[in-house]
Amino acid sequence: MIPYFGLESQEKLLKSKVLVVGAGGLGSPVIMYLAAAGVGNLTIVDFDTVEKSNLQRQVIHSGKIGWNKAESAKDFAEKLNPDVNVEAIKDEIEPENVMKIIKGHDVVVSCPDNFRTRFILNDACRIVDIPLVHAAVFEFEGEAMTIKSTPCYRCLYPVAPPSKTPGIIGATPGVMGCIQAVEALKIITGIGETLSGLLRIDLQTMEIFNIEVRPNKECPICSGKLKKIHPENYLNLCKVVKF
């Protein structure tokens, strides 16, 4: 019913193929809204198992404690929209499998809970030129960035900051995951403008920041120096040490 969206865009969605990495707090709204919108082919990657403590934010796994999260998300998406073809991959994104997993997708939506997976996805998606929609959350705060060319995630963070498991208000990944879903829909249909820099939202103060991200001349990805995924680049700080 949106005049400039129409049947043509709906058909684009049905033909599209989207990879969602992580079926947790961010992945839940992403999977829910992409399936509901009629994205025809969804691939969901998660190795983890649903635990009771996940359910305050991982809302698609209701009643499925003990299930693999990718399988549970597939079950949810297929019940919501039987027209969606869902593939569940019970695995972790690794340097060894990332190229095979991302191949053939129109968009990759990055919803993991760790920096290593974000770096592997950034580097792999830039090398084969697949748009990537990143988000991350901490307590009441979230960030999002859509990477279609330079600047990339490594321009923003050349190495991984120290990682610790944050506490999260469940609605925070709800907000950020919905933003990721809208970004993916815009990429597929070509309607609207995707994020041009880093979006930061503080839900405690309701402040929203659009931060400019400049291409980093030293970035091994954007300079075109890194052309392959080497496992050596994803240890500790995820610093690129091998080209």
Binding-site ranges for Zn ion (CB under 5 A) = 152, 154-155, 219, 221-222
Q: Which of 80/160 has CB closer to Zn ion? A: 160
Q: Which of 62/149 has CB closer to Zn ion? A: 149
Q: How far is the CB of 47 from Zn ion (least distance, A)?
A: 28
Residue 181 one-letter amino acid: A
How far apart CA 180 and CA 197 sit, in angstroms, is 14
Beta carbons of 120 and 229 less than 8 angstroms apart: yes
Q: Which of 181/229 has CB closer to Zn ion? A: 229
**Rama region for 236: left / alpha / beta (φ>0; ψ in -120 to 50; rest):** left
Q: How far is the CB of 119 from Zn ion (least distance, A)?
A: 11
Q: In this structure, what token pair is assigned to residue 49?
A: 């198992």
Q: In this structure, what token pair is assigned to residue 16?
A: 């599209």
Q: How far is the CB of 118 from Zn ion (least distance, A)?
A: 13
Cis peptide before 151 (omega within 30 of 0): yes
How far apart CA 88 and CA 70 sit, in angstroms, is 5
Q: Which of 185/222 has CB closer to Zn ion? A: 222
Q: Which of 50/152 has CB closer to Zn ion? A: 152
How far apart CA 213 and CA 145 sit, in angstroms, is 10
How far apart CA 175 and CA 181 sit, in angstroms, is 10
Q: How far is the CB of 67 from Zn ion (least distance, A)?
A: 37
